[in-house]
Amino acid sequence: MTWYPIKSTFAAGEVTPAVSSQTSNPLFQAGLRACRNMYVTHLGSVTTRPGLGYIETIAEDYYGDARVIPVDLGVEQRIVLVFTGGVEGDLTDSLVYTYSDQNFARFAQLVQNPSFRAGGQYWTVVEGSGAADVGFDEVDYDWQTEGDNFQCSIGSAVDGLQAGVKQTVDIPIHDAPTRFVYRVLGGGLDNVSGVVRVRMWTLDPTRTEVYNQQHNVGQYGEEAVSIVIPELETYTGKIEVFFDVTPSGGVTRHVIINSVQVIYDEPSVAGVAPAAHPYTRDQLADIQYVVDPYLHNVVLVHPDVTPHTYTLSAGIATVAPIAFNTGGGGDKGEPPHWVSDPNATDGYPRACGANQGRLVLGGSYKEPQKIWASEAGEWLDMSLPTDTTLSNEPFHYVMTAVGYIQWIEGGVRMLHGTSNGEHVVSAQALLVTGADIQVVEHSTNGAAHVQAERVGHEVMFCGGDRRNVYAANYSEELGQMRNDNMTLSSPHITRGAIKRMAYGREPFKILWCTLQDGTAAAMSYDPGTKTLGWHRHDTPGGTILDMAEGRLAGEDRIYAVVRREVDGVAHDRGLVVDG
């Protein structure tokens, strides 16, 4: 006979098929054969990933790549940038779209007190004659609280006597559609029928019924409704929402209602106009970025393009070359070659980060192993000082016996990933300076040109084969840095080749890896509990071009750009993946 073992946890997520018959293996006991479009939580459960939510079409008849960059420009000034790219010689499609809270503050819920908090405030009770003889507590309704579940219990036992609640709300000018959402449950009382009639009327200029639905959910039944009301598409004015029970034939009626909403989209707030940028569609995947905390802009680097900044000021977005200090006078020496003699042959920095108040750039074609660090607090000054002992001045250094610098991550210890290994940068004193700097190789995995992601106290980076994800962290036990292979138990999950990594913190801690094959691999990972589980994601009929976590309108979400073909034409569409 077939034996089906009972699993108490799925915390390991989708694991390698190599353990499919190893029943004593911990990976088998906590793993899944396949986990697609599901989340693995740190508690060991599995939950469905919310569906993709459409935001808007950002480009039509566009077949290039796209890039999503979420940034925090200051106190509560969070934005999400979406880049599309042109082609060499024609940068018409090289635009950056800015999404801010204004773009997403469009959802409006009209019903007041939809969960009946504060004992039914805003709701009017409807009672028939002889109300003291029917229902509950000598009237026809009862506001209930069960844990966090607020609801209204309506009951009536006398034929022809109506019991219910109603509310009148205003619908202003809005974008279609208008949706009516509610939930009804049987009252759970013996020999009592759970029947409710739900109605809606428009009141301007005359009373007109636009919704009438009866639900028989039974004693313990439940039904959730979400429906678009066509008559409200262009309607403005008052509406009345009414829930009632009216017994007949001597049968008592009792029902519970909850989660009542009438929702619509407000007209779009005039957003930030798209801004031109210098990157082609083939260059978008190799852009790295860091936020300037002093000027509140975004530094963008690419090995083929001079460093640029994205700036948002007075509702206007611009992308422009950085005007670095050219040096060559006073106490300043020569600046980096890409400042003094910029050209595509010698190239420009390919990696960027921030450490101890400095902008740190690294790895041009001419000097692939060199690091340039700005003056502390002054990111536009990269020119070497004549006095290298000053602690806050810019400094440069060359890393020996390494390949191209692929990524830079600041923090308590500054880390560099190169094509041949990973390095820790430190100093004998507290601050790293040109006269006090130590570079130590702590591992030899090698990295791809994919920007690293900080996850708690660890740094996640992509291996040179674009298949492995490593976590770099300091080990108190070893007294040095260590790298853990996070894909060791699921090496097949990233066979589509990692293109970009992004870490989402809420509601689940997940590292998202956009793959070159148009899908995504994701790792649920909690640094505190060390729980780790992989799962794969796709969107039917679409190609995921890029995704990243951002916080807009008070919600943490994963934002993605997905290409879909509609009537044979490709569209790049911004989609809410999570939320």
- Lowest-confidence pick of 382-386, 461-465, 515-519: 382-386
* Pairwise CA distance, residues 7 & 4, whole Å: 9
Place 208 in a pLDDT band, splitting at 50, 70 and 90.
very high
**The predicted structure's pLDDT at residue 140:** 40
Condensed to tens digits (0 to 9), the pLDDT of residues 416-457 reads 888 888 888 877 777 776 677 778 788 888 899 999 998 888
pTM of this prediction? 0.70
pLDDT of residue 212: 95
Judged against a pLDDT cut of 60, whether residue 578 lies above it is answered with no
Residue 576 pLDDT grade (very low, low, confident, very high; cuts 50, 70, 90): very low
Tens-place pLDDT, residues 309-342? 999 887 889 999 998 887 655 556 678 888 888 8
When pLDDT is cut at 50, 70 and 90, the band that residue 43 belongs to is confident
Q: Is the model more confident about 507 or about 17?
A: 17
Residue 349 has pLDDT above 80, yes or no: yes
pLDDT above 80: residue 287: yes
How many Cβ atoms are within 10 Å of 239's Cβ, its own excluded? 25
pLDDT value for 130:
39
Tokens read off for 298: 């975004």
Q: Under 8 Å CB-to-CB from 232, ≥6 apart: which residues?
A: 171, 177, 178, 202, 210, 239, 264
Q: What percent of the residues of the chain are helix, what percent strand, and what percent coil, each to the nearest 5? A: 5, 50, 45
pLDDT, residue 299, reads: 94
The tokens for 305 are 């393009």
H or E element, residue 415: strand 414-418
232 vs 478: which has the higher pLDDT = 232
pLDDT band, residue 492 (cuts 50/70/90): very high
